[in-house]
Amino acid sequence: LAYLMAADTDSITRLYSLLDDVKDLDPSIRINLKHRIKERFPDFRFLGEPEAEKVNLGLLVTRASFEAKQRDLKHLIDVEIPENSREIGEAMSKGDLRENAEYKAALEKQEMLKTAASRMQEEVQQAQIFNENEVKTDRIGFGTRARLKNVGTGLTEEYVVLGPWESDPERNVISYLSPLGAALWNHAPGEEFVYKIDEKEFRYLVEAIERAVLSGAVQ
C-alpha cells in the first residue's frame, strides 16, 4: 500500500493487472486494493468496469486530517529529503557510481520522496476543511454515520462517510470518493440502493443516519 501512495496510474495499472491474474488471491485483498486505488485516483477505470456516477465536491477534509497532512509534509521536506540528500552524498564518496548499489537506491528514494512531496503539496493546496456545523442527517453525506440493512443477509452494517485522508476501511470509515461512498451518497432513511463491485451486487436499506465524530479519531 505504501507503493500505491507514490506510484503513478501507469504503474498501478500494471500492478493491479498482475494481481488480477492470481486466481487464488483472497477476494478481500482485491476489493481493498480497489478501494485504495479509487480513493487516490477517483477517475481510475478498471478493465471492464462501467463508468460510475461521480460526487463532485473537490477534496473535503476534516481539520484534524488537514493539520496531520501539513505535519507529514513538513517532516518530508525538513527531515526525510535532507536526510536522503546526505545518503546520496555519502554514497557518491565511495567511488565508482556505476557499481554503487547504495547510490542507485538513494537516487530511487530521492525520486519517490520528490514525487510524494509534490503530490502532498498539491493536495494540501486543493483541500477544503469541512465545517462540522454543516453536517446534516436527513441524507448521507460527509460527516455522517449511516446504519444500513444488508437486504441479502439481513445483517446491519454501519459506515462513516468522510474523505480520502480519513478513510479507514477496517473500521468502516469510507471516503465519499470511493465506489461504496458514491453509492451511499445522498440517500435518505427508508431508501434502498444497489452497490456493485467485482461483479457482485449488494442491496442495502438505509435505516438511520446520524452525525459522526469529526474532531480527532472517528468513534
* Model pLDDT for residues 35-63, shown as the tens digit of each residue: 666 666 655 655 545 444 445 567 899 99
Q: What is the pTM of this model?
A: 0.67
Who has greater pLDDT, 93 or 148? Answer: 148
Q: Which of 81-90, 94-103, 163-172 has the lowest mean pLDDT?
A: 94-103
Residue 98 in grid coordinates: 556505476
Q: Under DSSP, is residue 213 helix (H, G, I), strand (E, B) or coil?
A: coil
**Residues 140/185, Cβ–Cβ less than 8 Å:** yes
* Mean pLDDT value across residues 170-177: 92
How is residue 161 written as a grid cell?
462517510
**Residue 22 near residue 14 (C-beta atoms within 8 A):** no
Is the pLDDT score of 85 beyond 60? yes
Pairing verdict, β 200-211 and 192-197: antiparallel
pLDDT at 184: 94
Q: Rounded CA gap, 118 and 112, in Å? A: 10
What's the pLDDT tens digit per position in 57-67?
A: 678 999 999 99
Question: How confident is the model at residue 50, as a pLDDT?
Answer: 45
pLDDT > 90? residue 206 = yes
| The three three-digit cell numbers of residue 53, written as one number | 456516477
Cβ neighbours of 196 (radius 10 Å)? 13
DSSP 148-208: EEETTT--EEEEEEE-TTT-BGGGTEEETTSHHHHHHTT--TT-EEEEEETTEEEEEEEEE
How many Cα atoms are found within 13 Å in the side-chain-facing hemisphere of 108? 8
Overall residue count recorded for the chain in this entry: 219
The predicted-structure confidence for 117-162, as pLDDT tens digits, reads as follows 998 998 899 899 998 888 999 999 999 999 999 999 999 999 999 9
Task: Report the half-sphere exposure of 56 (CA within 13 A, side-chain side).
Answer: 1
C-alpha cell at 156: 446491519
Q: Would residue 88 be called left, alpha or beta, if left means φ above 0 and alpha means ψ between -120 and 50 degrees?
A: alpha
Could you tell me the sign of the dihedral formed by the alpha carbons of 180, 185, 189, 194, in that order?
negative
DSSP 74: H
pLDDT at 219: 41
Between the two ends of the chain, the Cα-to-Cα distance in Å is 24
Q: Which residue has the higher pLDDT, 5 or 161?
A: 161
